[in-house]
Structure 1
């Protein structure tokens, strides 16, 4: 097999992995238009990649806090540095339903989101990538532990009186 054929196979594998990885991947241009919307995003949003592509992220999700989001995205573009948004800061970045309604303890998916610049070969930043992690299990377990600790403190205080 030639080097060109090897490169095409590698490119196919990478494309397949990007679309089927168990995290959301959204690539936006400098006008916040969707350039990539992987299967995770399709499955949880109900919006196909063919519909999402070239749409403004805010047209797809008008309920997002525009001022807050623009500030975050603009900082990534301007400073060429990634940022991280924890579920503890903004529990449900995207309004996705939890996909474990029977075994889960949450109606909505808790998410951590990393926003990273994507550099072109010339070093310029014309796109950014949002990586959306489902952390629902971690968030609900932490909240349940916190509630149990709070209850134990109250019981301990009541017993010590």
Structure 2
């Protein structure tokens, strides 16, 4: 199971109630440049000071307290972790667009002391949607002018 967590093409991070990193998989290591040994037991906000603590805590609170999942999409906020786009030749975006899913991790007693965070790379989809929207705007402007795009 540990091999699967390390090799899956999705970021997996487990945080405790103090937002200290418990699990950091290979995807996160590869894109952040930080080894699991460098991040374990360290506060997420100390490691990534661009993450707004109050905003993230507001997203995570219902996961801990109500034991429900929470989601963040690239359309709402382009990224949580500002990772560079790892396809600089074929990709036109400077950073990785991400969807994030937060899930409660229940103990055997039913309490939630940890949450998992799954980070999905949505860069290709975001880039495609942005290109389509730009094309639609171009066609709309051309139509208003009576010209071809």
Question: TM-score, normalized by length of structure 2?
Answer: 0.96
Segments of structure 1 that go 5 or more residues without pairing to the other structure are 1-13
Task: Please give the secondary structure, in 2, of the residue aligned with 1:107.
Answer: coil
Structure 1 residue runs of 4 or more that deviate by more than 3 Å after TM superposition: none
Q: Which has the higher helix share?
A: 1
Q: Which residue does 1:6 correspond to in 2?
A: none
Measured on the aligned residues, the alpha-carbon RMSD in Å equals 0.9
2:4 maps to 1:17: yes
Task: Please give the secondary structure, in 1, of the residue aligned with 2:113.
Answer: strand
Which structure has the bigger radius of gyration? 1
Structure 1, residues 48-71: CA drift from partner, whole Å, max 9, x if none?
Answer: 100110000011001111110111
Q: Which residue does 1:120 correspond to in 2?
A: 107
2:94 maps to 1:110: no
The number of aligned residues is 147
Segments of structure 2 that go 5 or more residues without pairing to the other structure are none
Question: TM-score, normalized by length of structure 1?
Answer: 0.89
2:128 maps to 1:138: no
Task: Please give the secondary structure, in 1, of the residue aligned with 2:14.
Answer: strand
2:51 maps to 1:83: no
